[in-house]
Amino acid sequence: MTAASPAADSGDTPAASPDAPPGRRFEPDLRSMTRINLRPIASPMPLGFFAVAIASVMTGCLQLGIFDETARSAVAFTVLPAFVLQLLVSILAFGARDVIAATLMAVFAGSWLAYALVMFSGAADGLEVLGVFNLALLCFGALMTAVTRPKRALWFVLAVSLPRWAATGLAGLTGAEWLTLTAGALGLVVALVAMYTAFALMLEDMRSEQVLPIGRSGPAHIAVEGDLGVQLRNLERQAGVRRTL
């Protein structure tokens, strides 16, 4: 004869499922007691796009020959803060549950860090290495454009970045001067598009309405224009709430 457990005698243990394996303990259903807290934050995207614009101007001017080759280290130093700023934007975007914006900003941050370190160090074959790196970014950007179309402003920044990555990559591998100049000019175009996007998003956030065209559509438009019920749809299945990523 075995002694009964005090917990079993207290009547607090829930009844086990008839199909449950013997000896396995089941917890009570906690869904009615579960609360998911959301924390509103200011949009970090204007900061991210302004960082893209400023860094693109600096690198574009170097490629166009506005700065002498001896200014590479100085340009590397001015681009390095873009890594810190866009990394911060990426972290905040992950917290805001926007995986597309967070991924894009994180990759941009990594690209500025790689550029700054290679240009500052003057490593051997640095331009060739950056050429391959930019072609890898081109592949990444092509994949990202397939999923960012509902976020039209972000899509445009990617769309103008693609030819720049292609020209920069080929210029690094071939050393062709005309490709370097083309990449520099495209860098200024990227800066203009990113500056417009940042300004439009900032105005929208300040006035709580769209002032300049941004071009959201589909889920991106619903997320901004929909009510709170739309924002919380399927929240229990999102990363950070579900058990696995």
For the chain, the distance separating the N- and C-terminal CA atoms, rounded to the nearest angstrom, is 47
Contact between 51 and 86 under an 8 Å Cβ cutoff? The reply is yes
pLDDT value for 11: 44
Q: For residue 3, what pLDDT is reported?
A: 43
Helix (H, G, I), strand (E, B) or coil at 2: coil
User: Comparing C-alpha atoms, which of 176, 100, 174 is closest to residue 140?
Assistant: 100
Look-up of token digits 């200024």: 188
**pTM of structure:** 0.76
Q: What per-residue confidence (pLDDT) applies to 25? A: 60
Spatial CA neighbour of 76 closest among 104, 127, 114, 126: 114
pLDDT at 221: 59
Q: CA dihedral defined by 35, 235, 46, 116, rounded to 10 degrees?
A: 100
Q: In this structure, what token pair is assigned to residue 179? A: 């490709």
**Cβ atoms 146, 152 nearer than 8 A:** no
| pLDDT on residue 240 | 66
**pLDDT by residue for the chain (245 residues), tens digit each?**
344 444 444 444 445 445 545 555 656 666 666 676 777 778 889 999 999 999 999 999 999 999 988 899 999 999 999 999 999 999 999 888 888 889 999 999 999 999 999 998 888 888 899 999 999 999 999 999 888 877 788 888 899 999 999 999 999 999 899 999 999 999 999 999 999 999 988 888 787 776 677 766 566 656 666 666 666 666 667 666 766 66
**What would the two tokens of residue 144 be?**
């990202």
Alpha helices in the chain (DSSP H): 6-10, 45-64, 72-95, 99-121, 126-145, 152-174, 177-207, 218-225, 228-231
